[in-house]
Amino acid sequence: MVSTLNPPLAPSWNHTPEEIATGIDDHIKSRKALRDEIAATPNPSFDNVIKKMVYSDQARAGLVSQLLFYHNVSANKDVRDSSSKAEAVYRDFAIEMSMREDMYKVVDAVKKQSPELKPESQRLLDKIHLDYVRDGLALPPEQREKLKDLNKQLSALELEYRSNLGENTEHVWFTEQELDGVPEGVVSQFEQDIDSGKRKMTFKYPDVVPVMKYAKLAETRRRAFVGDQNKALANCDLLGKAVKLRAEIAALLGYKTHAAYVLEERMAKTPEKAFDFLNDLRNKLSDAGKAEIDHLKELKKAELKSKGLPIDDSINVWDYRYYDNRLLESEYDIDSEKISEYFPIETTIARMLGIFEELFGLQFAEASEDQRSVWHADCKQFAVWRPESSEFVGWLYFDLHPREGKYGHAANFNIWAGYTDEQGARRYPVTALVCNFSKPTPTKPSLLKHNEVVTLFHELGHGIHNLVSVTEYSRFHGTRVSRDFVEAPSQMLEFWCWEPKELKRLSGHYIDGESISDDLISKIVKSKHVNGGLFNLRQLHFALFDLTLHTSDGSINIADAWNSMRQDISLLDQGSEITHGYASFGHLMGGYDAGYYGYLWSEVFAADIFYTKFKADAMNQVSGKEYQLAILKPGGSRDEMESLKILLGREPSNSAFLQELGIQNHSARSV
């Protein structure tokens, strides 16, 4: 649908490298001048300190976020480089501002007044005050200087790590024979060397995942896996230095570990509680995982025997995707390629948006040519409205195909946060889905595997959270909630991709538009938790590795921990291969340090919400409205546990989560 209404102007996306640098420099100067002014306030109050600071900051924050977003998506390397450099400058400045004792004193003075405030304003004051305390303002001056230096070092390491990943161009060359089994539509998109005829597999998802999933030769899968795990090896040293710095910073601030520092502000509160949650889940999943491994071994033995090859009684980590797919094909009759024909990306997006229109009372209107403002020709842009009131909601962008230098995974970026300005006017959010699905070919559109449909729905869930949230302050807008709750709304929406009616609604064959058959839907639904034990044990490896790193003093041997824990927890054999997947485990240097457990933790809340409110009727608009009001609209403006209790009418429980995983004979407990 093309918009016939007149939305507010979208951001322009034509900044030059020089404008990015100048824009950040101008913001830094104005923000510093404001801090100087506020710090000299003779009679500090909530209005002349907190509101003055926050109103000014959030008015500029959208442009800053936009300028720093370019390094994830721009096709121009000079623009990406300028954006990365600007982020380094801005991070250093932010550290300087966070360490201003004069600002801490006026904020502390306001806090001690115990002013009578609205709940969101009180939460804002409490959070800002705690920020200064956690930034070390209660430390003696010489320790504050040391802390500032350590934080700048850490920030530089994180930026370099991310840049190494974003700019990575490593690859593996394979012959056509070595790629036997990989769908022709995938191989045809691999660059071909004219002289040798070999094909280049990059480590972007649309390249490496199909090779791991379909390549018949174990050696091809091994080379693909090891190459992917050992890319960006310079990041190994960067992560090691970061872990040591984090431990040193935590100790300086009086915390036992970095994880203790991080989790103080999370729902879990302590590393001990997070470890307890993860280890309890590991114990409950271990038997299922072992049984699944045994089943895959039988498949492998049968295949090797049929080919007259020596029997190899192991499931190597590079075998997992391949034999998981063989299991789905042979016992569940799941043909991922055939299923993908029913999910051309354009159709799927339109129908996903249709679900959100019905469930949440929204309207998505593709921007007309005079409204269109994008950073790349591949992007799609939508104005989002509430049709009942003709109220504008915000801008939604899709950037869905890989290109050189682009962010390499799937994520939602909340570029401009929503808020209410000083005059009481609403400032609208701008949010973007940045993914890496296969590109269309001359004969076929981009077709989504079912797992990619789930991924797209998940990331769109984050986007919807950012769009429909309405908070007074941008600090609490949308996904700006506790990191161990942020995934719950999107994980809850993944259930729609497994409900028969909704799955049929999302589908439309790329040739004739025909809906996917009930038979295929039944097979997909039955396959949902095939090898679910192994899938979640893999997640547990990531989460436990992360917490182990960040409860150490930094002297831990990271390579040993990564490899030994993977084999021990995931139950997959890695033979004699020592790999360094933590060099590309971007979460560890992108805000999820000591927080990866949150993916599994928040799934408990996601399952509880879905089973309680939507299991009986996924398109129940009453439940949709209740969910919006209780969870999405308030964002982080109140405690997340309070929001859950309001929606559920009780304490959340892990009962639905255990039921969903098929874990029987285990008592549920509150979370």
DSSP per residue, 313-346:
---BTTTHHHHHHHHHHHHS---HHHHHTT-BHH
Neighbours of 519 (CB within 10 A): 9
Specify the pTM. 0.90
Q: Is the confidence at residue 578, as pLDDT, over 50?
A: yes
Least Cα distance to 268 among 641, 647, 586 occurs for 641
Question: Order of strands, edge to edge, in the sheet holding 380-386?
Answer: 363-366, 380-386, 391-399, 430-434, 411-416
Asked whether 465 and 489 are in contact (CB, 8 A), the reply is: yes
Q: Is the confidence at residue 603, as pLDDT, over 90?
A: yes
pLDDT in the model for residue 666:
59
Residue type, 553: D
Neighbours of 338 (CB within 10 A): 11
pLDDT tens, residue by residue, 626-653: 999 999 999 999 999 999 999 999 999 9
pLDDT tens, residue by residue, 414-452: 999 999 999 999 999 999 999 999 999 999 999 999 999
Residue type, 349: I
pLDDT in the model for residue 599:
93
Neighbours of 78 (CB within 10 A): 12
Average pLDDT for residues 582-602, to the nearest whole number? Answer: 95
Q: 371 or 538: which carries more pLDDT confidence?
A: 538
Q: Is the confidence at residue 664, as pLDDT, over 70?
A: no
Q: In the numeric block, which tokens belong to residue 421?
A: 């300005």
Q: Is 118 in a helix, a strand, or coil? A: coil
How far CA 498 is from CA of 165, 320, 521, in Å, comes to 33, 23, 8
Find how far residue 101's CA is from the centre of its chain.
34
Angle between helices 77-98 and 141-166 (to 10 degrees): 160
CATH code of the region 345-529+599-661? 1.10.1370.40
pLDDT range class, residue 312, cuts 50, 70, 90: confident
pLDDT range class, residue 304, cuts 50, 70, 90: very high
Instruction: Extract the runs of DSSP E, i.e. beta strands, from 341-390.
Output: 363-366, 380-386
Q: Is the confidence at residue 186, as pLDDT, over 60?
A: yes
Instruction: Extract the runs of DSSP E, i.e. beta strands, from 168-310.
Output: 171-174, 191-192, 199-202
Out of 87, 292, 341, 459, pick the active-site residue. Answer: 459
pLDDT in the model for residue 1:
46
pLDDT in the model for residue 671:
72
| Percent above pLDDT 70 for the chain | 98
**Which string of DSSP letters, residue by residue, matches 44-60?**
--IIIIIIHHHHHHHHH
As a 3-state breakdown, the chain gives helix, strand, coil percent values, each rounded to 5, of: 55, 10, 35
Q: Is 554 in a helix, a strand, or coil? A: coil
How far CA 105 is from CA of 34, 102, 139, 475, 602, in Å, comes to 15, 5, 13, 21, 37
CA dihedral (137, 139, 145, 148) positive or negative: negative
pLDDT tens, residue by residue, 170-181: 999 999 999 999
Residue type, 219: E
**Interatomic CA distance for residues 585 and 573, integer angstroms:** 20
Average pLDDT for residues 508-528, to the nearest whole number? Answer: 97
**Interatomic CA distance for residues 4 and 2, integer angstroms:** 6
Q: Is the confidence at residue 616, as pLDDT, over 70?
A: yes
Asked whether 257 and 550 are in contact (CB, 8 A), the reply is: yes
Asked whether 418 and 478 are in contact (CB, 8 A), the reply is: yes
CA dihedral (67, 69, 75, 81) positive or negative: positive
Q: Is the confidence at residue 387, as pLDDT, over 80?
A: yes
Q: Is the confidence at residue 152, as pLDDT, over 60?
A: yes
Average pLDDT for residues 50-73, to the nearest whole number? Answer: 97
The number of residues making up the chain comes to: 671
Least Cα distance to 149 among 164, 159, 136 occurs for 136
Least Cα distance to 482 among 605, 342, 665, 658 occurs for 605
Asked whether 579 and 560 are in contact (CB, 8 A), the reply is: no
Asked whether 407 and 434 are in contact (CB, 8 A), the reply is: yes
Active site annotation includes 369: no
> What integer best gives the mean pLDDT of the chain?
95
Q: How buried is 214 (Cβ within 10 angstroms: 0-12 exposed, 13-18 middle, 19+ buried)?
A: buried
pLDDT in the model for residue 3:
47
Average pLDDT for residues 151-167, to the nearest whole number? Answer: 94
Q: 128 or 654: which carries more pLDDT confidence?
A: 128
Average pLDDT for residues 301-317, to the nearest whole number? Answer: 93
pLDDT in the model for residue 369:
85
Least Cα distance to 606 among 517, 507, 497 occurs for 497
Q: In the numeric block, which tokens belong to residue 414?
A: 């909340």
**Which string of DSSP letters, residue by residue, matches 75-103?**
S-HHHHHHHHHHHHHHHHHHHHHHT-HHH
632 DSSP 8-state letter: I
pLDDT range class, residue 4, cuts 50, 70, 90: low
Residue type, 33: A
pLDDT in the model for residue 205:
87
Q: Is 573 in a helix, a strand, or coil? A: strand
- The residue extents of the domains of the chain are 17-98+100-134, 168-229, 345-529+599-661
**Which string of DSSP letters, residue by residue, matches 494-547?**
GGGGGSHHHHHHH---TTT-PPPPHHHHHHHHHTTTTTHHHHHHHHHHHHHHHH
Asked whether 275 and 547 are in contact (CB, 8 A), the reply is: yes
Fold of the domain spanning 17-98+100-134: Glutathione S-transferase Yfyf (Class Pi); Chain A, domain 2 (1.20.1050)
**Interatomic CA distance for residues 119 and 523, integer angstroms:** 49
pLDDT in the model for residue 665:
58
Neighbours of 197 (CB within 10 A): 9
Give the strand pairing for 391-399 and 430-434. Answer: parallel
Q: In the numeric block, which tokens belong to residue 397?
A: 């962008």
pLDDT tens, residue by residue, 493-502: 999 999 999 9
Q: Is the confidence at residue 2, as pLDDT, over 50?
A: no
**Interatomic CA distance for residues 454 and 331, integer angstroms:** 22
